[in-house]
Amino acid sequence: MGAAYFYHLTRQPLEAALPMLLAKARQAGWRVAVRGTDPARLDWLDQKLWLGAEDGFLPHGLAGGPNDADQPILLTTARAAPNAATCVMAIDGADIAPDEVAALDRVCILFDGNDAASVQTARGQWKTLTAAGAAAQYWSEDSGRWEKKAESGGS
């Protein structure tokens, strides 16, 4: 049974925080689906990931290509990820269901702490997931480094 980790972005933009989390997921041996809500935003993120640090190459692809199943990191708007993801990173309020948290190794929910609507969406997701018995952790970067601020053990 997995857990949902909520990452409250206040100091770094998504395009800076996501590569760090993706690298950690890959180090853990997980295949990752980055789930968004807008194909244009995922295309923008795809370009940012390709332009990342030379020492931090993250092999990835944008869903809809001929090699989706082979991608260690797949950017998609769909719930079903053809790359057999064991970790889902939800951005921009993408929906995560409690059964996904239970079935995956990890779910990461990244949200912009400078956007009130994004914070409200994340609070709703926390309530939904924890009420369904999912284990969850809330991480904040307010102090300048990531710190765990809350945890719900799940059932």
46-67 pLDDT, tens digit per residue, is 998 888 666 667 889 999 989 9
For the chain, the domains span 3-74+113-152
Provide the 10 A C-beta neighbour count for residue 28: 12
| pLDDT confidence bin for 154, thresholds 50/70/90 | low
pLDDT score at 102 = 94
Q: pTM score, two decimals?
A: 0.94
Closest Cα to residue 132, out of 101, 93, 98? 98
